A = this chain, B = another copy of it.
């Protein structure tokens, strides 16, 4: 009898809280989006499953002694997991288009306006009842506009760990929604003539340039903005492993083993931050709205800067490629290509959009460094 009572008390159903049930549904919802709608499945499947596991009553899998809680402590609190993923991104990224046409960095810079506009939006939300974001919170939310998952997780884990779950979910969800969010904005801000601009082919880039590139970026970062150095440093390390041509084994490890293993762990750990108390709060709705705004503003800023470059170069730059400045590699560049093809069936903008696209990765890492330097403690 006593055993039966003990057993009943140990059952999940006897301890299930309303919020946990909802969060398990949210976890299933994220996995549904990942599988059925192909929303960034590599991250959203583990994040969703992490939410599911962490919200199982009694088990405490996401707690300090639970498996996922321990993974969180080792990999996310220390910042190591997002940095290792960033190394993998660097090893997977070809910066050739950027090296061939460095001016596209300005498009990547302009698109970061989405971040800072969102920062103001987040602070402004405090005027509404129920919101109380600190400047740290606002900074962590704003980085969603960078359209860069690992950067967002890294910054949020440093500035606002409580919001990490919502921020990561928003960041990856909107990255997946780039093909829906961007085209209308791109069409609204450009003329038919601008969209039809055919750009001149990129010059080939030598291996020496590719090898020097990581050093140049890292040294500039070290001199001006050391707070961005972990992010930029790991990105550039990955890229150097890729380009230097003498460490094929390590490059493969960064592109495959490390990034795959860490992605599973990071996803589970982030999912454990999807608890009812933190996630089913008004703040989350605010974050989702602000995130959408950030993407729209970033896209618009990129396109507008594209128009400036169109003018300045006398029509040599297709302003559409500015939209790729938000990063979301390589989806934003693909979207640019698609919108460009609507106008002219032979105008392939993909390679031209890769420049601003990877510039956006550097740009949002720089923005993250600024936010960390000025609001971190």
Interface residues of A (CB under 8 A from B): 3, 6-7, 10-13, 15-16, 24, 28, 31, 34-35, 38, 41-42, 45-46, 49, 52-53, 56-59, 61, 66-67, 70-71, 78-80, 83, 211, 215, 218-219, 221-227, 229-230, 233-234, 237, 240-241, 244-247, 249-250, 252-254, 256-258, 260-261, 263-264, 268, 373-374
Write out the residue numbers on chain B whose beta carbons fall within 8 Å of the beta carbon of A234: 67
How far is the CB of A353 from the nearest CB of chain B, in Å?
24
Asked if B373 and A57 sit within 8 Å, CB to CB, the answer is no
How far is the CB of A27 from the nearest CB of chain B, in Å?
10
Write out the residue numbers on chain B whose beta carbons fall within 8 Å of the beta carbon of A260: 249-250, 252-253, 257
How far is the CB of A253 from the nearest CB of chain B, in Å?
4
Write out the residue numbers on chain B whose beta carbons fall within 8 Å of the beta carbon of A215: 28
A66 to B12, CA, bound (A): 40
Asked if A49 and B240 sit within 8 Å, CB to CB, the answer is yes
Asked if A224 and B13 sit within 8 Å, CB to CB, the answer is yes
Write out the residue numbers on chain B whose beta carbons fall within 8 Å of the beta carbon of A42: 247, 249-250
Mostly, the A contact residues are: helix
Asked if B240 and A10 sit within 8 Å, CB to CB, the answer is no
Write out the residue numbers on chain B whose beta carbons fall within 8 Å of the beta carbon of A250: 42, 45-46, 260, 263-264
Asked if B58 and A226 sit within 8 Å, CB to CB, the answer is yes
Asked if A230 and B12 sit within 8 Å, CB to CB, the answer is no
Asked if A59 and B261 sit within 8 Å, CB to CB, the answer is no
Asked if B247 and A3 sit within 8 Å, CB to CB, the answer is no
A222 to B12, CA, bound (A): 6
Please name 11 pairs of A and B residues whose Cβ atoms are closer than 8 Å in the assembled complex, sorted by A.
A10-B225, A10-B227, A12-B225, A24-B219, A45-B247, A46-B237, A56-B222, A67-B83, A237-B268, A249-B260, A258-B261
Asked if A10 and B226 sit within 8 Å, CB to CB, the answer is yes
